[in-house]
Amino acid sequence: MMRLALDIGATKFAAARVSADSPATARPPADCGPPPGAEFGLGAVHRVDVPASGVWEVCRELLLDVAGGAEVESVGIGAAGPVDVTAGVTGPLNIPEWRAGFPIVARVRELFPGATVRFAIDGACLALAEQRAGALRGVADALAMTVSSGIGGGILAGGRVLAGRTGNAGHVGHIVVPGEEVPCACGGFGCVEAVASGLSSVRWARSRGWRGSSGAELAAAAAAGNSTALAALERAGTALGRAVSSAAATLDIDLVVIGGGFAASGEPLWKPLRAAVTRHARLGFLRPLRVLPSEITAGATLAGAAVLAAGPGANAGDVPEWPA
């Protein structure tokens, strides 16, 4: 009997076996990047690029490859949003073939009929992973955010991950920040993702004459003192601090953890972020609102999916499970 974890990302799928051993004795992963690792019992991680068509066929092959013919006891699935976890449907914006909604849970159950399947959005997986072995160890109430090409997140409330009505709770990238009427990929305007993600910040800097093309290049340019890059990170950090302050007041939390590639942009991003939090998070129950860097960046969704595969436990909250 074996457990599997599956990460449905925007451009890549990843899957791994999950050891049923206690975390301390789990075999360290062969090619899984720096954390997560043995804390999650993850075996060797298999990855494939998401193709333009035939997406399920590629995902299916990946799962069969990792399972290697063994009987599968449980599968934990983490997916880029939006999702409808009550229907077992994923609809990642960046996978056109699945955008209208793909019944991932039903297909995985056809593949492994005896398995229990648990399914959550990637932000919820991040929160579960941080709680198991990251910056949220022992924390009951917090927000875990990813700031990379997009912005997402997951919520811990009362020690458990909050799924929400359709599984999208914690989709904080679409908190609206003041003073910005930028069009967002969601169809709305002024969302923090449209202002402060890596992609959005690069777009803003390029519109002001900067010539680079990635968030990492933007961070490097800011570190080297480029004024446009510094202004782009100041703008992003301020927007993030405002969004974080709003979310913290809504959720009654005093701790936010931020991971993702663009969050690693250093002080030019974090200094304005902290300044905005100091300015906006003024209520007594928020002070001091701590915003910390994530301890789990690479593979956080797969790590959270491994937590789901191991069983709902006390902290998987209302993440649904099939068969019900």
What is the nearest approach in angstroms of Zn ion to the Cβ of residue 316?
27
Interface residue with Zn ion, options 28, 54, 179, 188 (CB under 5 A): 188
* 21, 42 contact by CB (below 8 A): no
Neighbours of 323 (CB within 10 A): 7
What is the nearest approach in angstroms of Zn ion to the Cβ of residue 188?
5
Cα dist. 208→178, 204, 220 in Å?
21, 7, 17
Q: For 295, phi and psi rounded to 5 degrees?
A: -100, -5
Tokens of 72: 């599968």
Q: Which of residues 12-71 bind Zn ion (CB under 5 A)?
A: none
* 75, 4 contact by CB (below 8 A): yes
174 interacts with Zn ion by CB under 5 A = yes
What is the nearest approach in angstroms of Zn ion to the Cβ of residue 304?
23
Which of 173, 237 has the CB closer to Zn ion?
173
Interface residue with Zn ion, options 44, 176, 186, 298 (CB under 5 A): 186
Interface residue with Zn ion, options 191, 195, 251, 291 (CB under 5 A): 191
183 interacts with Zn ion by CB under 5 A = no
Which of 33, 188 has the CB closer to Zn ion?
188
Query: Phi-psi category of 138—alpha, beta or left, where left has phi over 0 and alpha has psi -120 to 50?
Result: left
Which of 194, 302 has the CB closer to Zn ion?
194
Interface residue with Zn ion, options 184, 247, 300, 303 (CB under 5 A): 184
171 interacts with Zn ion by CB under 5 A = no
The one segment of 71-79, 130-138, 179-187, 246-254 that binds Zn ion by CB under 5 A: 179-187
What is the nearest approach in angstroms of Zn ion to the Cβ of residue 83?
16
Rounded distance, CA 92 to CA 113, Å? Answer: 25
Which of 56, 189 has the CB closer to Zn ion?
189
Which of 116, 200 has the CB closer to Zn ion?
200
3-class DSSP state for residue 109?
A: helix
Which of 20, 186 has the CB closer to Zn ion?
186
What secondary structure letter does DSSP report for 319? -
Beta bridge partners of 84: 89
Q: If we measure between CA atoms, which residue out of 288, 294, 301, 286 comes closest to residue 257?
A: 294
What is the nearest approach in angstroms of Zn ion to the Cβ of residue 235?
17
Number of separate helices (H) and strands (E) present in the chain = 9, 13
Q: For 202, phi and psi rounded to 5 degrees?
A: -65, -45
The one segment of 25-33, 184-192, 203-211, 316-324 that binds Zn ion by CB under 5 A: 184-192
The one segment of 78-86, 104-112, 138-146, 172-180 that binds Zn ion by CB under 5 A: 172-180
Rounded distance, CA 324 to CA 321, Å? Answer: 6
175 interacts with Zn ion by CB under 5 A = no
Q: Please give the residue ranges that form the binding site for Zn ion (CB under 5 A).
A: 174, 184, 186, 188, 191
